[in-house]
Structure 1
Amino acid sequence: MSWARIMAPLSGGEGDATALAAAVRLAEPFGAEVAGVYTPADVADVMPWMGEGFLGGVQTTALESLKEAAAAGEAKAREAMSHVTYGKNAFVSLQTPVWSGLSAESRLSDVIVFNGDSARGRGPLAEAFQQMVADEQRPVLVARGEFSVGGPIAVAWDGGKEASRAARLALPLLEKASRVVILAAPKASSRTFDPTRLQAYYAARGVTAEIDILPDSGDAAPLLLYAAGKVGAEILVAGAFGHPRLQEFIFGGTTRSLLAAEAPTLFLSH
């Protein structure tokens, strides 16, 4: 298995350089293209708020300000892209309707790369992160620190749909990893599962994986983070939003706890 296109949504902000650098680190071992996709605030989103017959002085000024901000942001995003020395790269600037364009670009990309702030709900791309993970159900890499492709990788698995999907989609990464460790916390899960099943799935595809059974706990996230750190994993593969998002928002959830941590880099899929 391999990847051919790694996409990094760009906002024209300071986080663009981080996202692009991470996208290059992910793409290079596969010879994949890095696509920087400028994702501005959409003028269409404010139209319903203005209502019919909105073309008064204040409203027109507001629209012009949004257009000017989008143009300035695109210039900064292009500048960030110009510093990418990796040869296989492309720049895409989305126009109204922005969210529809972002969805279309993501569906033709293998992995979407975000920085840690976007994943924590901060900055202009926070909504884009939610859209990619939860609505489009695209595999997402949350880049944190100087991760590398080819080092140890930990895979969090509980037998559920989200975790199993992430475990499958991460195979190109796992095939290049120096060590793969399946992290399982049976006593922290409401479902019954056997981690040797995933181990056998990987073995059939040429990936040798170890199993680490984590101790009893009411919250799996601290266990997963500790275990990933213990094996020196630079990337943790995990399912995202295993419960309804409203429930995750109210009660926290493993996904929210993983996103709040400082390390490691996360490979997520819903």
Structure 2
Amino acid sequence: MSWARIMAPLSGGQGDRDAVAAAVMLAEPFGAEVAGVYTPADVADVMPWMGEGFLGGVQTTALESLKEAAQAGEKNARAAMDACAYGKKQFIALTTPVWAGLSAESRLSDVVVFGSDPARGRGPLAEAFQQMVADEQRPVLIAREGLTVGGCVAVAWDGGKEASRAARLALPLLEKARRVVILAAPKASSRSFDAARLQAYYGARGVDAELEVLPESGDAAPALVKAAAAVEAEILVAGAFGHPRLQEFIFGGTTRSLLNSDRPSLFLSH
């Protein structure tokens, strides 16, 4: 298996260069294209808030300010892409309707890369992160300090739908890894499962995975983070749990704890 297109949403802010660098790191072993997608605030989302008569002086000034900010952001995002020496790259600047464009780009990408802030609900790309995970159900990589491809990857496993989707979609990453460790915490799950089944699944696909059963009960997230650190995993693969409510993605406790941890980098799928 392989990946052909890695997408990095860009905000025109300081985190863009790190996001591009992480996308390149993920793409390079596969010779994949990196798509830097500038995702500005959408004027169409602001206009209903302005109400009738939005063409008045104050409203017109506000719209012009938004347009100027979008232009400046695009310039910064483009500069972040230009500073990257990776040859197989593409820059895309979205225009209204921004969210429809972002969805379309993600559907033609294998993985979407974010930094830590959007995953924690911070900054201009926080809503984009929620859209990618909850609405589009795209696999995302949350890039953190220490990210490498080809080292150790840990896979959180509980036999559920979300975990199985993440475990399958991460196969190209696992095929490049030096070491793969399946982390299972059966005492922390209400679900009955046999972690050796995933180990056999990987073995049939040429991935020699180790299996570690964690003794902890209660909240699985701290145990998973601790175990991932113990095996020196650079990336933890996990299912994202939650449900849409009022167009907002409400993450479950385990997922929220993983998002708020500092390391390792996360490969998530809902």
Q: TM-score range by the shorter chain?
A: over 0.9
CA distance in 2, matches of 1:252, 1:173: 25
Moved over 6 A (4+): 248-251
CA distance in 1, matches of 2:66, 2:160: 43
Letter in 2 for 1:86: Y
TM, length-normalised to structure 2 = 0.97
Q: How many residues align?
A: 268
CA distance in 2, matches of 1:187, 1:245: 28
Task: Please give the secondary structure, in 1, of the residue aligned with 2:62.
Answer: helix
Q: Where do residues 69-80 of structure 1 align in structure 2 (5 Å cutoff)?
A: 69-80=69-80
Q: Where do residues 40-189 of structure 1 align in structure 2 (5 Å cutoff)?
A: 40-189=40-189
Letter in 1 for 2:256: R
Give deviations 1:116-165, integer Å, cap 9, x for gaps.
Answer: 11111111001100000111000000000131111010000101110100
Give deviations 1:224-262, integer Å, cap 9, x for gaps.
Answer: 000000111000000002x4356x988861111001011
1:208 maps to what in 2? 208
Give deviations 1:6-54, integer Å, cap 9, x for gaps.
Answer: 0000000000011000000000000000000000000000111122332
TM, length-normalised to structure 1 = 0.97
Q: Where do residues 171-250 of structure 1 align in structure 2 (5 Å cutoff)?
A: 171-241=171-241, 243-244=242-243
Unaligned runs of 5+ in 1: none
Give deviations 1:33-84, integer Å, cap 9, x for gaps.
Answer: 0000000000000111122332100111110000000000000001111101
Letter in 1 for 2:191: R
Aligned CA distance change for structure 1 residues 200 and 267 (closer, same or farther; 3 Å)? same
Unaligned runs of 5+ in 2: none
- Residue 166 of structure 1 and its aligned partner are, at CA, apart by 0.2
Give deviations 1:169-213, integer Å, cap 9, x for gaps.
Answer: 000000111111100000100110000110111011010111110
Contact 2:7 2:113 in 1 (8 A): yes
Letter in 2 for 1:57: G
CA distance in 1, matches of 2:236, 2:41: 31
Aligned CA distance change for structure 1 residues 251 and 19 (closer, same or farther; 3 Å)? closer
Give the % identical residues. 79
